[in-house]
Amino acid sequence: MAPEDLHSPDHERFQAAVLDLYRRHPNTTGHVRRADRNLVDELFRQRVHLHDIDAALLLVAARCAHRPQVTIRSFHYFLPAILEVLDQPLESGYLRFLELRRQRTSADDHQPA
């Protein structure tokens, strides 16, 4: 892709969607750095699908569920999981399981004590 494609509506939607997924991840600070935006730009240039990024974030959330004290301070933390998902896509049934687990965990987090 040409550099000007980074100013396209498709890029803006992709960047907003990826960064929203990142901010909503239960283990992140939610703070986005310039380096995070640069990584999102690179993923856009490489035509990585949002579905694969979401799958990687689901995978990391499941892995962090047993270590809730983990605080992720950069989107770069997810790069190995993104590469893993690109190399070996997750089965749709497993993705549904991870999504249900994320929803259940999120609901539990919002229950009054």
Average pLDDT over residues 82-87: 97
The encoded tokens of residue 3 equal 């550099």
Please state the domain count of the chain.
Answer: 1
Higher pLDDT, 112 or 55: 55
pTM of this prediction? 0.83
Looking at every residue in the chain, the average pLDDT score rounds to 87
Per the CB < 8 A criterion, the answer to whether 82 and 54 are in contact is no
| 86 has pLDDT over 70 | yes
Higher pLDDT, 42 or 69: 42
Predicted confidence at residue 102, as pLDDT, reads 76
DSSP character string of the chain? --GGGGGSHHHHHHHHHHHHHHHHSTTB-----HHHHHHHHHHHHTT--HHHHHHHHHHHHHHHTT-TT--B--GGGGHHHHHHHHHSPPPHHHHHHHHHHHHHHHHHHTS--
Q: Give strand ranges (E) for the chain.
A: none
Higher pLDDT, 83 or 65: 83
Predicted confidence at residue 67, as pLDDT, reads 73
Per the CB < 8 A criterion, the answer to whether 43 and 82 are in contact is yes
Q: Which of 74, 68, 62, 86 is nearest to 23 (CA)?
A: 74
Query: Could you list the residue range(s) of the whole structural domain that residue 35 is in?
Result: 3-109
| 3 has pLDDT over 50 | no
